[in-house]
Amino acid sequence: MNASHTPLVVVGDALLDHDLCGRAERLAPDAPVPVVHGTRRSSRPGGAALAACLAAADGRPVTLVTGLGTDPASDTLRELLAGRVDLVEVPLEGTLSSKTRVLAGDRPLLRLDDGEGHAREATQEAVSTIAAADGVLVADYGRGTADVLRDALAHTAAPVVWDPHVRGRPPVPGVRLVTPSAQEARAFARRLADGDDAGDAAGLRTAARDARALVAAWQAQAVAVTLGDRGALLSHGETPLLVPTPAAASGDPCGAGDRFASAAAGLLADGALTEAAVQAAVHAATRYVAEGGARAVTGPDRPEAAAEPPADGDTTADAVRTAARVRAAGGTVVAAGGCFDLLHAGHVALLQAARRAGDCLIVCVNSDDSVRRRKGDGRPLVPAADRVRVLRALECVDAVAVFDEDTPERILGDLRPHIWAKGGDYARTRLPEQPLVESWGGQVLLLPYLDGRSTTVLARRAARTPTPGSPR
């Protein structure tokens, strides 16, 4: 995205988040609890402030309307937001809420909550800001900001995305999109059903039923129930649309809901259709988790990936970021390459084995022109966009990069993997990229290849298969 995109007003409860990250390698002698040592402390905007920063990192101007006080946590948050978003403050009663997570590696062990501040009253500046908005995101964390500005939110002409919280009130009638998690949707729906607890919050049927009920009860134009790594379920009140994640993403999901809501709100402000905005928001949230989640939001100048999904085949930047993130965390980056024209069992076995060799697997894929030069005018059978999409759907694949050259040296130089994995059929051949990989201390690793599986064999077999009604 770029700065020409529509400005966004984020209204909601800001939080101050802290992480204490260390290693847990033993239990305490006096209690069966892990001992975390070598801790590093970091602080970042949380709640509505995180949503505002994520929207601003997309390249759009953002104004955050939130409650702040005179306490030290409020002062720290102001410093973190300086230069990232414009602030419009409403008075806060009490101290700003803050959360401290204790993590061992990427695994949260404990969370400590402090501060119970609530927005006290609206201000004329806040009301005027909402009235003049081109797009509004309400990031409600149940601490009063949306409540004191409820009348202004009900009368704005801008498209409104409302990210609700079970501690807060329902959205005002007529909002464009409401974005509860499955658990939040279940809780709101139970209230409508007078305590009925039937259904599993993780089930698609339950999410669809809850979304339909909430569209009617809230008089919302649409409800998108977020389902974690399953994507989101969009309902206008009738048959819902399931928007799956583009690829498996493992990482810290803290703040993924804010990433989803901020991406959707920005795109609706730009004039996108609701279905397109939700699909882009699912892609943005998936990338957010894969790239480190909230802990990757470390400074005002850190660019965030665009909210639109990357075009199939144009994923090299995502692959380079994934490699850099894993390398920075001390992990092992594995890369594998090939045409992958017709994905078969031999390919899958190779990729699964490669992924087990490290902490992430990046697949380098020949472009259509590159395949054509190597295999002839009849290839590829499947265009690069489709090959990339199939590869990204594999659980063992973390990212895909497309290269246009005859060999992958250039993209390998960008990725700098620790391991370059190839099939065992190269055992008697010195790969041309081997000196490059070894130049930065990398290792070429050969993996077993399933005999009898190849794209050429599959294509010939398909060509010989008689069509129905033809003589045998």
What are the residue numbers of the active site?
258
- Select from 141, 147, 122, 6 the least CA-distant residue to 63: 6
- Select from 150, 114, 141 the least CA-distant residue to 49: 141
Helix axes 182-192, 204-218, angle to 10 degrees: 60
C-alpha to C-alpha distance for 259 and 391, rounded to whole angstroms: 25
- Select from 210, 204, 178 the least CA-distant residue to 277: 178
Q: How many CB atoms lie within 10 A of CB 55?
A: 33
Phi, psi for residue 268 in degrees, rounded to 5: -65, -35
φ/ψ bin of 228: left (φ > 0), alpha (ψ from -120 to 50), beta (otherwise):
left
3-state secondary structure of 180: coil
Phi, psi for residue 122 in degrees, rounded to 5: -75, 160
Q: Which residues contact 293 (CB under 8 A, 6 or more apart)?
A: 251, 252, 253, 254, 255, 256
What six digits make up the tokens of 174? 């007529």
What six digits make up the tokens of 471? 């003589």
**To which residue do tokens 């050969």 refer?**
446
Q: Do the beta carbons of residue 253 and residue 293 sit within 8 Å?
A: yes
3-state secondary structure of 68: strand
Q: Do the beta carbons of residue 415 and residue 372 sit within 8 Å?
A: no
The angle subtended at Cα 93 by Cα 92 and Cα 95, nearest 5°, is 80
